Each structure stands twice: as structure tokens, then as C-alpha cells.
């Protein structure tokens, strides 16, 4: 029988991470970090603010042997022309999508923590920045570029399209929408086998190639 993996989930109160835990919970050792409501014990860490509690987070992870670390932190508050983010929402977009996973990752590297693999939930929005979700896409792209240029050898970035959750409820449907259940199964399937930047489906990968090649004027007209 294969030994259980130690799975650290940063952002464990997100809908996607909760679904992921349902799939792997009985097969792996799960350690949760969340600013949501959890019961704090040796496998669950409650934080008020990820940045303010960074030292507490690193201490918690340091006690876990060779973990896989999943970053489920995600936040979007723009959907132009229907929704323009406020100043605070812009700050939160950058903080949650970029700064928190960046600072935790860098702190673990600085402390020479042995990590089997870093797994980041990214977005199709990082493929090419567009007006409708420019700040969100930029924050995801910043994280991706940091990871690729860091000293991490074993990482996985999954560029999802729209995952149907409460966070994306007001965004229009696309041909590559998937449910949170489907997304969680893809993460469970990929995290052991894949390395680098990947797409959950061939369709999203093809669409990303097309998006890169389309002139900006056409993107604006098509509103994609």
C-alpha cells in the first residue's frame, strides 16, 4: 500500500478546496490553513490575516514532513463593463492572488523547507491580459512569473478557465466552464503526475494559443 501524502491546503475554506478535500480526504493526511471558521488543532491552523500571521503559518508547515502544498487562495472583483473594482477590491485582488502565495512560498524557500511539490491554482486570465479582468489576470501572471523564475524545481501551475462557484456566479458562461467537482478531480489527477504550467483540458489549451495570436482589436470586439 502506498504511503499517505501530507497535503497542506492554503485557503482551505474556498469552495474548490473543500471539494478537493472530499475527494482525497480519506486517502491522504490533510493539513488546513484558513482565515475562515475552522477548529484549530494539530491539522488545522486558523489565521486572521495571512500576511500578519506569516511566521505562524511557516512554523505550522515546518512541522509537516515533505508536504505537497496547494494554494487555493483566489479572489476576483472585476467583470468589466458590468463590474469595476473599488480601490479596496484592487488591493485585495493583488494581495490574495499574488502576495499571499508569494510570501508563503518565499518564506518556505528562505527556511529551506523540504517540499515535495508546490501546486498553484491559476487562471486562463493570465494567458493574455484583457480589459475585462486586467488586474485579476495581472495578479495571477505575477505569481506565475515569480514561480517560474524562483529556485523551485518541482511546481505545478494549473490554468483553469471559469470554475462555477459563488465567486464566478456573475460572470458569463463560456464553452470551457467546468464545475467545482470537475475541477477538483482534475487537481487530484494532475498533482502527482504533472509538472510546470498545464491546462485542465485540451480545449482550454487550444483557446489559450488562439488568444495569444489574436490581435487586440479583435479581442475587444469579441469581448473575450
What is the dihedral angle through the alpha carbons of 91, 108, 155, 76, rounded to the nearest 10 degrees? Answer: -10
pLDDT value of position 110: 96
State the 10-residue block means of pLDDT for the chain, 224 residues long: 87 92 90 82 90 96 96 89 90 96 97 96 89 92 96 95 73 78 95 94 85 66 56
The pTM (predicted TM-score) of the whole model is 0.90
Phi, psi (5° rounding) for residue 121? -90, 110
The set of cell numbers assigned to 154 is 518541482
125 near 136, Cβ under 8 Å? yes
For domain 6-222, say whether CATH 3.40.50.720 is its number.
yes
pLDDT value of position 224: 55
Query: Residue 29 forms beta bridges with which residues?
Result: 6
pLDDT value of position 102: 97
For residue 207, count other CB atoms closer than 10 A to its CB.
Answer: 19
What's the rounded Cα separation, in Å, for the pair 212 and 58? 37
pLDDT value of position 168: 66
What's the rounded Cα separation, in Å, for the pair 152 and 121? 16
Query: Residue 24 forms beta bridges with which residues?
Result: none
Amino acid at each position: 500500500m502506498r504511503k499517505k501524502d501530507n497535503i497542506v491546503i492554503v485557503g482551505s475554506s474556498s469552495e474548490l478546496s473543500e471539494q478537493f478535500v472530499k475527494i482525497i480526504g480519506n486517502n491522504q493526511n490533510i493539513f488546513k490553513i484558513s482565515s475562515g471558521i475552522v477548529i484549530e488543532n494539530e491539522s488545522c491552523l486558523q489565521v486572521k490575516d495571512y500576511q500578519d500571521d506569516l511566521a505562524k503559518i511557516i512554523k505550522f508547515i515546518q512541522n509537516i514532513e515533505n508536504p505537497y502544498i496547494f494554494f487555493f487562495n483566489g479572489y476576483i472583483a472585476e467583470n468589466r463593463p458590468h463590474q469595476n473594482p473599488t480601490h479596496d477590491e484592487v488591493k485585495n485582488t493583488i494581495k490574495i492572488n499574488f502576495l499571499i502565495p508569494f510570501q508563503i512560498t518565499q518564506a518556505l524557500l528562505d527556511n529551506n523547507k523540504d517540499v515535495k511539490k508546490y501546486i498553484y491554482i491559476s487562471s486562463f486570465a493570465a494567458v493574455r491580459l484583457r480589459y475585462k479582468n486586467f488586474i485579476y489576470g495581472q495578479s495571477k501572471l505575477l505569481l506565475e512569473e515569480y514561480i517560474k523564475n524562483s529556485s523551485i524545481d518541482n511546481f505545478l501551475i494549473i490554468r483553469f478557465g471559469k470554475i462555477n462557484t459563488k465567486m464566478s456566479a456573475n460572470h458569463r458562461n463560456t464553452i470551457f466552464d467546468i464545475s467545482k467537482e470537475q475541477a477538483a478531480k482534475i487537481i487530484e489527477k494532475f498533482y502527482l503526475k504533472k509538472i510546470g504550467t498545464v491546462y485542465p483540458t485540451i480545449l482550454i489549451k487550444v483557446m489559450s494559443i488562439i488568444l495569444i495570436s489574436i490581435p487586440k482589436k479583435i479581442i475587444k470586439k469579441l469581448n473575450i
